[in-house]
Amino acid sequence: MKNISGFERRFIVSGLKENIRSDGREMFDYRDITLQTGNLPQTNGSSLFKLGNTHIITGVKVEIGEPLKDHPNEGRLEISVECCPSASPEFEGRGAEDLNSELSGAMNKIINTNSALDLKSLCILERKKCWIIYIDVLVLDSDGNLFDSVSMGINAALSDVKIPKIRVVPGDKVGDLEIEVFGEEESRKLDTSKVPICITFAQIDGYNIVDPTIQEESCMSSRVTIAVNKNQNICGMMMGGTSGIDTQVLIQLTQLSIKIGPGLYKALDYMTNQNKTKLQQKNDLII
């Protein structure tokens, strides 16, 4: 956590009484979101997501592998989040290890499920071959609220993913089956309509604010991260910090997150569409 003096903390708390945060935002305002998809041409899908000064880059690669023994007719995701040492002084050396495992675990919990993606559609040959989606997230710059940014970055990258068309053909030896992979032109998109995003609330002296900056995170006593999806369902909840949260407050926060979710999805969709039209225009110019 960034060092902060008692006086700065006092100023932030007295500002919350008036519903004014350090940058003029109100308690439940998100920072400016910028999004670009398709930045990394070597991947099957990618996104560069910025929430204020928090920069996240996500790359998705799809590979053919073996399904897990207890889910023989499903594909799977492997999500790994890494905080770059350049993102913040506390990420130097092994400082980010705990945060990396916490973020990766949280993302796996909410996205690597059948309720978020249709994992059965990723199956190629039951018990033998399936699609494995490797999602690698890199936090390039941290200005607080990594949970929300990482989840939105993954959401955007998944909406950009193109899974190549394949055909199963008999192999060289008898009884062997080989998989023929077609080019990029004949690829399909993933259905990401049910992938959730996280909304983080930070509690500072009894006040709950959304999307904390790194300064506000140094003042907070506890954090609640609620995962919601487009259908306004709650998909998961994670807590952090040193103090507890009142049950009544928790219920209020879940109701609030359902109200905030649609606005964020709208912003993400708008920007993804803008990127698509820009890319289309670029392609049209080339042709």
Kindly list the residues in this chain that would bind another protein in the complex (CB under 8 A): 3-8, 10-11, 14-15, 18, 20, 22-26, 29, 31-32, 34, 52
Shortest Å, Cβ 23 to another protein? 6
Measured from the CB atom, the residue of 15 and 95 that comes closer to another protein is 15
- The C-alpha atoms of residue 18 and residue 270 are separated, in whole angstroms, by 32
Three-state DSSP class for 263?
helix
DSSP type of residue 92: T
Shortest Å, Cβ 153 to another protein? 18
Encoded amino acid at 110, one letter: I
- The C-alpha atoms of residue 164 and residue 63 are separated, in whole angstroms, by 10
Measured from the CB atom, the residue of 32 and 98 that comes closer to another protein is 32
Measured from the CB atom, the residue of 54 and 192 that comes closer to another protein is 54
**Is 232:245 a contact under the CB 8 Å cutoff?**
no
**Pick from 112, 131, 129, 107: nearest CA to 121:** 131
Measured from the CB atom, the residue of 8 and 78 that comes closer to another protein is 8
- The C-alpha atoms of residue 265 and residue 174 are separated, in whole angstroms, by 50
Measured from the CB atom, the residue of 10 and 259 that comes closer to another protein is 10
Shortest Å, Cβ 213 to another protein? 11
Shortest Å, Cβ 156 to another protein? 18
Encoded amino acid at 118, one letter: D
Shortest Å, Cβ 6 to another protein? 7
* Residue 234 exposure: Cα atoms within 13 Å on the Cβ side: 14
Measured from the CB atom, the residue of 92 and 186 that comes closer to another protein is 92
Kindly report the CA angle at 94 between 88 and 99, in degrees rounded to 5?
A: 65
Both tokens of residue 261? 């979710």
Give the torsion through C-alpha atoms of 188, 189, 191, 195, to 10 deg.
Answer: 150
Measured from the CB atom, the residue of 22 and 255 that comes closer to another protein is 22
Question: At a CB cut-off of 8 Å and minimum separation 6, what does 78 contact?
Answer: 132, 133, 134, 135
Shortest Å, Cβ 22 to another protein? 6
Shortest Å, Cβ 265 to another protein? 19
Both tokens of residue 189? 């998109």
Shortest Å, Cβ 13 to another protein? 10
Q: Is 55 exposed, middle or buried (0-12, 13-18, 19+ CB in 10 A)?
A: buried
Both tokens of residue 220? 């907070």
Measured from the CB atom, the residue of 6 and 175 that comes closer to another protein is 6
